Amino acid sequence: MVQDTTRWPSDTASTAGTPTLAGMERALLPRLAFHDQAPQEARVRVMVVDDNDGFRESLLSLLDAGGLDVVAEASSGLEALEIVDGVDPDVVLMDVRMPGIDGIETTRRLKGEHPDLGVVALSGHEDQEIVREMLVAGASGYVLKDSDGDEILNAVLQAAGGGGVLSPGVTPRVIEELTEALERERRRTRELEEAQAALVERAARRHELVARLSHELRTPVTVILGIAQTLPKTRSDAERQELLERLVSRSRDLTRLVERFELTVDAGLTEHVDLERVAREIAAANPRVEVVVNAPPPIVPLNAAAARRILEELVDNAVRFSRAETPVIVRLDLRAALLEVRVTDHGPGIDTVDRERIFGPLEQLEDLNVRVHQGAGMGLPLARTAARAMGGDVTLEASGPEGSTFLWTIALAERPA
């Protein structure tokens, strides 16, 4: 095929955007040579849609000279939609800017009715939004009207074969936008994969939770049932009293287990909470618990019930795992935008490998068959869940042979200087 560097119709003199006859002759000479050499079989069928009569005629001449079969022409999108079924083109060369139904909407409708139809957009603009809208509508390519004739012919041939061509004038911008879109899609895919992995993990943990909780509930229920069945058979008041005390103890354990699940319920409902007062009320119920406050902490927006349960769980955990004669210290400190609540015990400490495991649902450091401390292992996990639901966290700050310190951090609203 004979190549030339003529840029048409912009290189030809024109009136109101229409190429002159002399200019078109110069532009078409190499195309005629191409046409003489082109094979006659399987000519690509093209419909030209453009509201500029002069430019449309220029396209007809170029396509014919390039060995393509022009089966129809239309001066508007509506006309193109009306005649397309009768002419059955392989490719539509589509002007973007037209009155009435523009090239974008015309392309969208054509592709909706004829999905295999190739559409090459022709425009005098490099507007990125127009390029994107035409491609989204279904165009196979986008070529500027002042492109070389070879570029237009190549775009038509590529569209007929199922491919696509973008004019060099718009390609870099389109590639940049597509690259950004691809990166967004990759990020979204990674997020979905992470969400799926988290979902699988939650499902596994839920299965484990149900199995362990079933065991924890069955044990006290079985004991309560056994005690209730034994009570009528007891002969002495002492035995009866002992059984009643055990019954009450087991019933309280069950009640506490159920209450722990209330930690995360409605954690988002907040009110003003005086944590120092809450800490002192909890300490008043147990002489081993001491409250240390260096400076009065501010009133904080928290769910009051959830906040109390968090502190009760931390204190209860410290009391149960400390030596009976040792104190449990609750310390409140104000640091920058955080209120820090530390609960320190004098227990045996927690091994490094177990310091995150203790926050897993139903995790306990004692095996079921040798357990010394009662409970379902739900206190710390639910305390952390509730704290995080309110914008804070519960962590194990330090642990060793002399004891452990759990830290509850509470984010404060920005205060004026």
Cα torsion through 255, 256, 261, 263, rounded to 10: 130
Q: How many domains does the structure of the chain reveal? A: 2
Residue 195 scores a pLDDT above 80 = no
pLDDT over 90, % of the chain = 24
Domain-located, residue 128: yes
Which H/E stretch holds residue 155? helix 149-160
Q: Is 60 helix (H, G, I), strand (E, B) or coil?
A: helix
Contact partners, residue 407, CB within 8 Å, separation at least 6: 340, 341, 342, 394, 395, 396, 397
Which tokens go with 118?
């190739």
CATH of the domain at 360: 3.30.565.10
- Choose one of 144, 169, 194: the last residue of a domain: 169
CA distances from 121 to 53, 253, 412 (A): 17, 75, 57
pLDDT at 20: 38
pLDDT at 159: 85
Domain-located, residue 341: yes
Cα(75)–Cα(59) distance, rounded to whole angstroms? 13
Residue 366 scores a pLDDT above 50 = no
Domain-located, residue 210: no
> 363: pLDDT confidence band, cut at 50, 70 and 90?
very low
Q: Averaging pLDDT over each range in 2-6, 272-276, 321-325, which range is the top one? A: 272-276
Q: Are 271 and 155 in the same domain?
A: no
Q: Are 273 and 404 in the same domain?
A: yes
Residue 22 scores a pLDDT above 60 = no
CATH of the domain at 163: 3.40.50.2300
Q: Are 275 and 154 in the same domain?
A: no
- Of the listed ranges 25-39, 253-267, 371-385, the one predicted with least confidence: 25-39
For residue 322, give its domain range. 267-417
Q: Bin 42: left if φ > 0, else alpha if -120 < ψ < 50, else beta.
A: left
- Of the listed ranges 19-23, 350-354, 377-381, the one predicted with least confidence: 19-23
Q: Are 278 and 411 in the same domain?
A: yes
Domain-located, residue 181: no
- Choose one of 122, 150, 169: the last residue of a domain: 169
Q: Are 277 and 163 in the same domain?
A: no
- Choose one of 117, 139, 169: the last residue of a domain: 169
- Contact assessment for residue 125 and residue 96, using Cβ atoms and an 8 Å cutoff: yes
Which tokens go with 207?
């299965």
Q: Are 305 and 413 in the same domain?
A: yes
